[in-house]
Structure 1
Amino acid sequence: MAEPLDAVADWPVDTAAAAIVGPAGIVATHGPLDHAFPLASVTKPLAALAVLVAVEEEAVSLDDPADEELLPGATLRHLLAHASGMAPEKPMRSFPPAVRRVYSNAGIERAAWLVEQAAGMPFADYLREAVLDPLSLDGTSLPGSPARDGVSTVTDLARVAQELLSSTGLLSAPTLADLRTVQFPGLRGVLPGFGGRDPNDWGLGFEVRGTKSPHWTGSTNSPETYGHFGQSGTLIWIDPVARLGLVALTDRDFGDWAKQAWPALADAVLA
């Protein structure tokens, strides 16, 4: 299994680290596994896990209103699934809920704010108590926005991938199933970096591959594959059919190089 990651050495980046993950843990690695990388939008899955812990602790509910004044009818579930109608970057209403998949940093920030209010602590502190400490993610922090300012390592994100493949109990089985299930099916929208997709499937804080093509995962990834990539050149995906996950973190922003390199690596891993 080590050979597929050899290709990472040829990526046009200064620093890259990667790991293939199975239910029992890391299968193969490349690069400095404990190097701290800015995650950009790979922060969102970590934030979503914390929100879902809050749901299971009954601090919040997925049916809680997102913001009745700004987004009437939208819920916390809509926010996590980018289906609330919140504009991409500002707390503004762009659509009614469940009409369009609008990828929204502001929506994820609102979801985190709801948890912050319910828990009575900063979201970064709640994230640490709910996710980082239980999974021993010692190299991960959230110094800013829960939508895009996380910092982490391949070692830590490999633990996250393993937890999603073979849970130790961070979340219940029904919640894990909900997380990777398409929410509000049939919504079209823009997949950042790739343009319009119809449908543009999303779970709870995680993108679901579905029928999207081209895509940042491989052509051989199952439609059930879920994960996220970040504009800082980062990715995590879990293929529940193959029972494998992939984490790759780099120090070069997402661009055409990644559109070629990432799917090729995924196909090599799955081969």
Structure 2
Amino acid sequence: MDMTTFAATADFPHTALVGVTNSAETLALQGDPQQVLALASVTKPLTAWGVFVAIEQGLVDLDDAAGPEGSTLQNLLDHTSGLPFEGDEPQHAPGARRTYSNAGFDALATHVAGAVGMDFAQWMTQQVVGPLGMTSTDVTGRPSAGAQSSIADLLAFGREVLHPTLITPELRDYALTVSHEGLRGLVPGYGTFADNQWGLGFELKGAKTPHWTGDTLPAETAGHFGAQGSFLFVDRSHDVAAAFLSGVPFGEDHKRIWPGLTDEILARYGR
């Protein structure tokens, strides 16, 4: 394993915790891999994984009615339910547009909790966080944006996405495929895109420009970034996943360094 410093973070004025893994092992670390910081919306892929485990166990289904009238579990997962960023009043019919929604992910967790018969945080601890050995991760906050974790734990989750053990590869592949193609929508901090591609719980890079990942990362790159200056990306084609934590609000410094950092990670560690 490489204990390293990434050139792209040299003039970043905050904490820059970085980790890189392939499907088998950690490849590189910068900073303390056990330091726990807020994930903000990087919570969403973790929450989605808990939903997928419930699907595999036959407790819920992507076609279940969930959220506002006419919405399904899949609509909540891919931000097409019509719910706004925050609040309960739908902004449009399900499937008409991609409206990024914390409220949708909280509703998702509420639906799953009812189906599995326990608090969603308890379900996540038993079915995702515990089995993956994510001992530093706290999922008791909002399912949309309230988890805290470490680089070491995020890399464990990245390995799970690259080589799933809790769900089938087929469900993983479906989750990382564009859901409801060709929909306009906003990526917070980056603008509105005519084709705002998302899978289930994961943003897909697609043809978005500008984007928080660099130009060398393929369109199929899946991941998420968060309002506390965090990211996780998974590039299956190069068998690499990487995480970043800073613990400060997302801003221009993150937008400035992240594309170069993700390009540097892929150049150094992608297969």
Q: How far apart are 1:228 and its partner, in Å? A: 0.3
Number of the residue aligned with 2:222: 226
Query: Aligned AA for 1:150?
Result: A
Q: CA RMSD in A?
A: 1.3
Question: Deviations along 1:144-164, whole A, 9 cap, x unmatched?
Answer: 210011000000000011111
Say which is worse superposed, 15-24 or 92-101, in terms of deviation. Answer: 15-24
**Could you tell me the TM-score, scaled by structure 2's length?**
0.95
Q: Give the conservation status (yes or no) of the 8 Å contact 1:85–1:94.
A: yes
Q: What is the number of equivalent residue pairs in this alignment?
A: 266
Question: Deviations along 1:150-199, whole A, 9 cap, x unmatched?
Answer: 000000000011111122x2110111001100100001100011010111
Number of the residue aligned with 1:76: 73
Match of 1:127 among 124, 128, 136: 124
Q: How far apart are 1:241 and its partner, in Å? A: 1.4
SS in 1 for 2:34: coil
Match of 2:207 among 211, 214, 227: 211
Q: How far apart are 1:5 and its partner, in Å? A: 2.3
Query: Aligned AA for 2:241?
Result: G
Number of the residue aligned with 2:233: 237
Q: How far apart are 1:72 and its partner, in Å? A: 2.4
Number of the residue aligned with 2:19: 19
Number of the residue aligned with 1:66: 66
SS in 2 for 1:241: helix
Asked if 1:177 is matched to 2:173, the reply is yes
Number of the residue aligned with 1:8: 9
Residues in 2 aligned to 1:144 and 1:175: alpha-carbon distance in whole angstroms = 26
Number of the residue aligned with 2:43: 43
Asked if 1:149 is matched to 2:146, the reply is yes
Question: Deviations along 1:22-55, whole A, 9 cap, x unmatched?
Answer: 1212111100100000110001111000011111
Residues in 2 aligned to 1:187 and 1:25: alpha-carbon distance in whole angstroms = 36
Number of the residue aligned with 1:161: 158
Residues in 1 aligned to 2:5 and 2:96: alpha-carbon distance in whole angstroms = 40
Where does 1:92-111 land on structure 2 (aligned, <5 Å)? Answer: 92-111=89-108
Residues in 2 aligned to 1:103 and 1:21: alpha-carbon distance in whole angstroms = 28
Q: Give the conservation status (yes or no) of the 8 Å contact 2:4–2:29.
A: no
- Consecutive aligned runs of 4 or more in structure 1 exceeding 2 Å deviation: 1-10
Residues in 2 aligned to 1:108 and 1:80: alpha-carbon distance in whole angstroms = 7
SS in 1 for 2:237: coil
Q: How far apart are 1:243 and its partner, in Å? A: 1.4
SS in 2 for 1:41: helix
Number of the residue aligned with 1:115: 112
Q: How far apart are 1:7 and its partner, in Å? A: 3.5
Q: How far apart are 1:109 and its partner, in Å? A: 0.5
Number of the residue aligned with 2:248: 252
**Residue 212 to residue 265, structure 1, CA distance change in 2 (3 Å):** same
Residues in 1 aligned to 2:66 and 2:112: alpha-carbon distance in whole angstroms = 11
Q: Give the conservation status (yes or no) of the 8 Å contact 1:8–1:30.
A: no
Q: Give the conservation status (yes or no) of the 8 Å contact 2:8–2:264.
A: no
Q: Give the conservation status (yes or no) of the 8 Å contact 2:5–2:30.
A: no
Residues in 2 aligned to 1:147 and 1:3: alpha-carbon distance in whole angstroms = 32
Structure 1's unaligned 5+ residue stretches are none
Query: Aligned AA for 2:84?
Result: A
Query: Aligned AA for 2:149?
Result: S
Q: Give the conservation status (yes or no) of the 8 Å contact 2:234–2:241.
A: yes
Query: Sequence identity of aligned pairs in percent?
Result: 39
Structure 2's unaligned 5+ residue stretches are none
Residues in 2 aligned to 1:209 and 1:27: alpha-carbon distance in whole angstroms = 23
SS in 1 for 2:39: strand
**Could you tell me the TM-score, scaled by structure 1's length?**
0.95
Q: Give the conservation status (yes or no) of the 8 Å contact 1:86–1:102.
A: yes
Residues in 2 aligned to 1:7 and 1:211: alpha-carbon distance in whole angstroms = 23
